[in-house]
Amino acid sequence: MTAIPSLLADYERDGVAIVRGFLSPGEVAAIRAELDRYIREDLPSKPLDARTLEADEKTVRNLWRLEQHSGYFREFAHRADLLAVIAPLVKGEPVLAGVETFNKPARIGSGVPPHQDNAYFCQDPPDMLTVWIAIDAVTEANGPVTYLKGSHRLGPLPTRPSGVRGNSIGLAETPEAGEAERLVALLEPGDASIHHCETIHYSAPNTTDQARLGFLLVYRGSHTVTDPARKDAYSVAAAMTPPA
Ligand SMILES: O=C(O)CCC(=O)C(=O)O
């Protein structure tokens, strides 16, 4: 991974920053191969909350808790070079909070409603982020993640259950945003977007023939604590569309 001089400034200003070539083509290929193997060989014996399926009830929409279920991914997420990039962004010692996927499979990949991740994470202060790494190319057409730049400065906004499996809690109301305020993360394999846990974001369904697999690493600063009231609101929403 190469040094990224403007990362902290971009992240603090916009609540999201793009890092080109975050992983090499070889690293992307290795992650893809291990995800394929995990889904084929390991997932069938894991608990139901290890994944969310698409509406066809067989294609994986998300893998959850890979840091618990896979030594390979747990170890990957603890790489010293990754933690060194994350530490200034979470304002402290990074603690791994999750390794996940948003697979957005070809033709049937479902959309993600506008949300702030901290409605799920419930951390105070909100020094928590997601590194969203493109395994497939992300285009205008196959459901890119769109971020509202600077929305992390709005703080936690009112939520409501979304009824969407895998994304149970969304915003009660999405603030208006013009084109200039939106960042559509068009990525080549190996590129990453890094977003703050209160940056509003969403994605459209994938109606193309090109899958859009994202591999996500979630970290918080070791100083953050869980807000019980927010956790209760999340648990109510998640119970409507388990597991997440
Ligand atoms: O990959 C997507 O479409 C949505 C990702 C997301 O919601 C997240 O990174 O928190």
Tell me the pLDDT band of 3, cut-offs 50, 70 and 90.
low
- Which amino acid would we find at residue 91? K
Whether omega before 243 lies within 30 degrees of 0, making that bond cis, reads yes
Residue found under tokens 């530490």 = 87
Question: Left if phi > 0, otherwise alpha if psi is -120 to 50, otherwise beta: which for 69?
Answer: alpha
Considering the entire predicted model, what is its pTM? Answer: 0.95
Residue range 234-240: mean pLDDT, rounded: 82
- Calpha distance 239→128 (Å, rounded): 24
Q: Is 185 in the pocket of ligand 1 (CB under 6 A)?
A: no
Q: What pLDDT is attached to residue 74?
A: 98
Angstrom CA distances, 17 to 77, 100, 183, 204, stand at: 19, 19, 9, 20
Q: What pLDDT is attached to residue 236?
A: 78
Q: What pLDDT is attached to residue 108?
A: 97
pLDDT tens digits for range 151-167:
999 999 999 988 888 88
Q: Name the more confident of 243 and 91.
A: 91
- In terms of Cα–Cα distance, which of 101, 113, 104, 102 is closest to 202? 113
Q: What pLDDT is attached to residue 242?
A: 78
Q: Is the pLDDT of residue 1 over 70?
A: no
Atom of ligand 1 nearest to the CA of 132: 9
Mean pLDDT of the chain: 95
Question: Left if phi > 0, otherwise alpha if psi is -120 to 50, otherwise beta: which for 166?
Answer: left
- Residue 148 CA to ligand 1 centre (angstroms): 13
Q: What pLDDT is attached to residue 168?
A: 85
Q: Is 118 in the pocket of ligand 1 (CB under 6 A)?
A: no
pLDDT tens digits for range 187-197:
999 999 999 99
SS3 content of the chain, % helix, strand, coil (to 5): 30, 30, 40
- Residue 240 CA to ligand 1 centre (angstroms): 20
Q: Does domain 7-240 have CATH number 2.60.120.620?
A: yes
Q: Is the pLDDT of residue 2 over 80?
A: no
- Residue 112 CA to ligand 1 centre (angstroms): 7
Could you tell me what percent of the chain has a pLDDT over 90?
84
- Calpha distance 191→199 (Å, rounded): 19
Residue range 115-137: mean pLDDT, rounded: 97
